Amino acid sequence: MIEFHLRNGKTDRTPCYAKLNLLGHCQLNEIGTGSQCGGHGICGKDRVLILSASEAEALSPPSAEELKHLRTEELAQGIRLACQCYPQKDDLDLEIRVL
């Protein structure tokens, strides 16, 4: 299950699917992320903070697009682009803050 902490202080939950990036999970629940390019990694606006993951290797490694938009410090803090970040398998437990 993915638990999203929203900008308005509320939380929303959705099942976790490996073949769907975090932006897609947000779209399932009509959670706005600020994406302006339709999820292609061009705008760098759909930033999320990974608060916790049930497994160390729960998410895909940073993509080339993420490395263009995010500083090393941001990646180290757990900031990712929702459109580029995929759960590695179904049914993971993730806690994510939409930035």
Q: Residue 59 in 3-state DSSP?
A: strand
**35 vs 70, higher pLDDT:** 70
Residue 31's domain comprises 2-98
CATH number of the domain where residue 49 is located: 3.10.20.30
Q: What is the pTM of this model?
A: 0.91
Answer yes or no: is pLDDT of 56 > 80. no
pLDDT at residue 38, as a whole number: 83
Q: How many structural domains is the chain composed of?
A: 1
Q: What is the 3-state secondary structure (H, E, C) of 66-86?
A: HHHHCCHHHHHHCEEECCCCC
- Paired strand residues for 34: none
pLDDT at residue 34, as a whole number: 85
Predicted confidence (pLDDT) per residue in 60-89, tens digit = 999 999 999 999 999 999 999 999 999 999
Predicted confidence (pLDDT) per residue in 41-53, tens digit = 999 999 999 998 8
Q: Following CA atoms 57, 24, 76, 6 in sequence, which dihedral angle do they give, to the nearest 10 degrees?
A: -120
